Amino acid sequence: MSEQKLDPFLKWAGGKRWLVEKHRQLFDISYERYIEPFLGGGSVFFAVNPEIAVLADVNPRLIETYNAIKDNWRLVFDALQTHHERHCKDHYYNERSKDYLTSADRAAQFIYLNRTCWNGLYRVNLKGIFNVPIGTKQKVVYDWDDFERTACALQNAEIKCQDFETTISQAKENDLVYLDPPYTVNHKYNGFIKYNEKIFSWKDQIRLKDCVVNAIGRGVKIVLSNADHSSIRELYEGVGKQAVLTRSSVIAGDKMRRGTVDELVVMSW
């Protein structure tokens, strides 16, 4: 595994920049392949920069964006710079409803909306249309952007749009699987915003735990982050080691609700 660190190019709700900044030791182990079934912004992937990886998510626009950068980062970046030059309220709302013909243009649009919408939130309506309002950020292209290095890091990664169960089933002995599912817990509606058309249900949490148990039985190394809730702790009782980590919370719309939040980590190694 390479020691060279990359910053993620997306801001993602529930992102794990804090985890790799404060608890990098969770991933300082030997493994054959790095596998991440809930890719999102890819903070952990870019921080550990593995030599071989399998990256997956069920969000087709997200996966298309990663593949577009991998295939031709310059086309994506050039289109993103055009958004940077044109950014304003009218441009944002025009772009929010626009359809593009090429994957590079769609990827640049995805990154542009991610960087300028409210809190980097990805949310679509029942018709699958992105509907997050504009945020306060004015910059679209940053000084730290390095899409060329990002594309290089992705060259040895398989990037797939698929369910987590399919991805975990591909893990073999001595692979490392990092899991960061939506933080659904066992009570009605879970107090979480429905970011996507289909919420990650409690049944999905149970299905995920079963996948984790089966993977550990095959000799797969697991690191999982999840909600620090009694239902999650009970669900993973006897499955690896549990630890509670504290992070800052900045996504709440009301500043009075922002503060520190505990998260649960389960490790099999």
| Residue 179 and residue 49 share a domain | yes
| Residue 53 and residue 130 share a domain | no
Query: Which of 148, 174, 191 is the endpoint of a domain?
Result: 148
DSSP conformation letters of 169-221: HT--TT-EEEE------SSTTTT----SSS---HHHHHHHHHHHHHHHHTT-E
Residue 50 lies in a domain: yes
**CATH number of residue 178's parent domain:** 3.40.50.150
Task: Write out the residue range of the structural domain in which residue 95 sits.
Answer: 62-148
The pLDDT tens digits of the residues spanning 135-184 come to 998 899 999 999 999 999 999 999 999 999 999 999 999 999 999 998 88
| Residue 176 and residue 54 share a domain | yes
Across the chain, which distance is largest between two alpha carbons, in Å? 54
The pLDDT tens digits of the residues spanning 193-202 come to 444 335 688 8
Mean pLDDT, range 86-113, rounded to an integer: 96
| Residue 75 and residue 43 share a domain | no
pLDDT exceeds cutoff 50 at 1: no
The structure tokens listed for 243 are 């630890």
Residue 5 lies in a domain: no
Mean pLDDT, range 224-245, rounded to an integer: 94
Residue 10 lies in a domain: no
Which residues make Cβ contacts (< 8 Å) with residue 99, sequence separation at least 6? none
| Residue 106 and residue 229 share a domain | no
pLDDT exceeds cutoff 70 at 29: yes
Query: Which of 148, 178, 207 is the endpoint of a domain?
Result: 148
Query: Which of 148, 177, 212 is the endpoint of a domain?
Result: 148
| Residue 50 and residue 34 share a domain | yes
| Residue 192 and residue 179 share a domain | yes
pLDDT exceeds cutoff 70 at 257: no
| Residue 197 and residue 133 share a domain | no
| Residue 108 and residue 92 share a domain | yes
Residue 101 dihedral angles phi and psi, to the nearest 5°: -90, -30
| Residue 249 and residue 187 share a domain | yes
What predicted TM-score, i.e. pTM, was given to this entire model? 0.90
Total number of domains constituting the chain: 2
